[in-house]
A = this chain, B = another copy of it.
Amino acid sequence: MGKGRMEAFSDGVLAIIITIMVLELKVPHGIDLAALQPLLPVFLSYVLSFVYLGIYWNNHHHMLHTCQHASGPVLWANLHLLFWLSLFPFVTGWMGENHFATMPTALYGVVLLMAAIAYYILQVMIIRSQGDDSLLAKAIGNDMKGKLSPILYVVGILASLVEMWIAHVIYVAVALMWLIPDRRIERAMGTRGT
């Protein structure tokens, strides 16, 4: 089974998720700048989620580049990842419209955590399908960022219940950590002469 349609379907779902989030930015009734002020937290949470979905798309793009065939487990692990990502518009809207309140902030972290776990499962499924000489396994190496992220999300979720802003700092920090593009896979493929 080729991977073309899995990529196309994932691109479609990610493109829609990233775009319908903007519908939470409801057009205000006022016509002055003051009318936009209540939208600021919604806008900021939109920017954060846009960056996270951009990171996921980017890394997904790189990861599937190492993958030749889409087996059943890989297809379902991919759908599982898309499921958690599809909850981004909901938690982004809830957090933004409630000005980064405690529970919405914690739930945002839970969805970040579940998406990170789903991404990890997909990674394992692809490596398993590639056998001993897995290109992806070599590419990710010790996978520091992949292992650190879920831990930081858990810290963020717990922190949100005590001191909310710590959670926000952590969510932004993890995003910045990933913004640095994942050159490991490009490098691994380069040495193989692909």
Contact = CB atoms under 8 A, between A and B. Distances in A.
Interface of A: 1-2, 5-9, 11-20, 22-25, 27-28, 31-33, 35-36, 47, 50, 54, 57-58, 61-62, 65, 72-73, 75-76, 79, 82-83, 86-87, 89-90, 93-94, 97-98, 101-104, 107, 179, 181, 183, 186
A54 B90 CA distance: 20
Contacts of A97: 27
B11 A5 contact: yes
A32 B86 contact: no
A94 B13 contact: no
A14 B9 contact: yes
A20 B16 contact: yes
A166 B118 CA distance: 31
B22 A19 contact: no
Contact of A9 (B11, B90, B102): B11
A111 to B, nearest CB: 12
6 contacts: A2-B65, A11-B12, A13-B19, A15-B15, A16-B20, A27-B93
Given A9-B57, A58-B75, A72-B181, 20 more contacts: A1-B65, A5-B11, A9-B14, A12-B12, A12-B14, A13-B15, A17-B19, A18-B86, A19-B86, A23-B23, A25-B90, A27-B93, A31-B102, A31-B104, A33-B103, A36-B107, A50-B83, A50-B86, A54-B79, A58-B72
Q: Which 3 A-B pairs have the closest CB atoms?
A: A12-B15, A72-B181, A27-B93
A6 B62 CA distance: 11
